[in-house]
């Protein structure tokens, strides 16, 4: 089994043809967690979801793993969202409920927290019109993470013709959460937008 940590760039998700009807307001201006996905799925966990197990993690989860499809961001609403993530992915991870969400936060803090500012330091800044060479964004992600190669996934921009924009960056881990560079290549378009928050 391996794991994929999927980070989402909400401005790209919400203004792209991703099929996600974003309701969150304001739209997050940092990369956030989309999910931690086991591949392939293991046997279902016997640890059943209970929101109380996340009580001390809920504030962090609300910040770093928000529900883009909901205008309600109170913890009580997010518990149902995280339950869905557990049922779809977490229960097949070989981890317990709390352990799964703790591990997701741990991996996020290593690979994703502050990623927007780190990309800006490499001159990759969210903009309204400027596109970036995909190889330059990929090189910046690799440099930021000391050679840990994230895979950039793009989505077609709504009303933007054939323009592609960043939707996600994915990172791969072994079954014991060691970093590995084995994901499929990044999107195959030569240039993509890194859309600024509010650009939509």
Average pLDDT of each block of 10 consecutive residues along the chain (200 residues)?
A: 96 91 93 96 92 96 95 86 97 97 98 96 94 95 93 88 91 96 84 85
Classify residue 131: in a domain, yes or no. yes
Q: Is residue 200 part of a domain?
A: no
CATH number at residue 97: 3.90.730.10
What pLDDT does residue 199 have? Answer: 63
Residue 199 lies inside a defined structural domain of this protein: no
Residue 13: inside a domain: yes
Residue 198 lies in a domain: no
Instruction: Report the domain count for the chain.
Output: 1
Domain that holds residue 185: 2-193
The pLDDT value given to residue 104: 99
pLDDT score of 109: 98
Separation between Cα atoms, residue 13 and residue 167, nearest integer Å: 5
Q: Is residue 51 part of a domain?
A: yes
Residue 182 lies in a domain: yes
pLDDT in tens, 57-93: 999 999 999 999 998 878 888 999 999 999 999 999 9
Q: Write out the catalytic residue numbers.
A: 34, 85, 89
């Amino acid at each position: 089994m391996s794991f994929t940590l999927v980070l989402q760039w909400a401005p790209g998700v919400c203004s792209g043809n991703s099929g996600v009807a974003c309701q969150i307001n304001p739209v997050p201006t940092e990369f956030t967690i989309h999910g931690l996905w086991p591949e392939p799925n293991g046997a279902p966990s016997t640890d059943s979801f209970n929101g109380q197990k996340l009580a001390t993690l809920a504030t962090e989860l609300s910040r770093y793993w928000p529900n883009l499809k909901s205008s309600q961001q109170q913890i009580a609403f997010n518990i149902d969202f995280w339950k869905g993530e557990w049922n779809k992915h977490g229960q097949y991870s070989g981890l317990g409920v709390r352990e799964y969400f703790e591990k997701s936060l741990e991996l996020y803090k290593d690979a994703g927290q502050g990623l927007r500012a780190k990309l800006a330091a490499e001159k990759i800044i969210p903009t309204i019109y400027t596109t970036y060479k995909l190889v330059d964004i990929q090189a910046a992600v690799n440099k930021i993470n000391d050679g840990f190669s994230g895979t950039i996934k793009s989505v077609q921009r709504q009303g933007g013709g054939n323009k592609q924009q960043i939707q996600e960056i994915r990172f791969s881990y072994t079954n014991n959460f060691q970093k590995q560079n084995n994901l499929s290549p990044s999107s195959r378009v030569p240039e993509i937008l890194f859309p600024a928050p509010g650009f939509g």
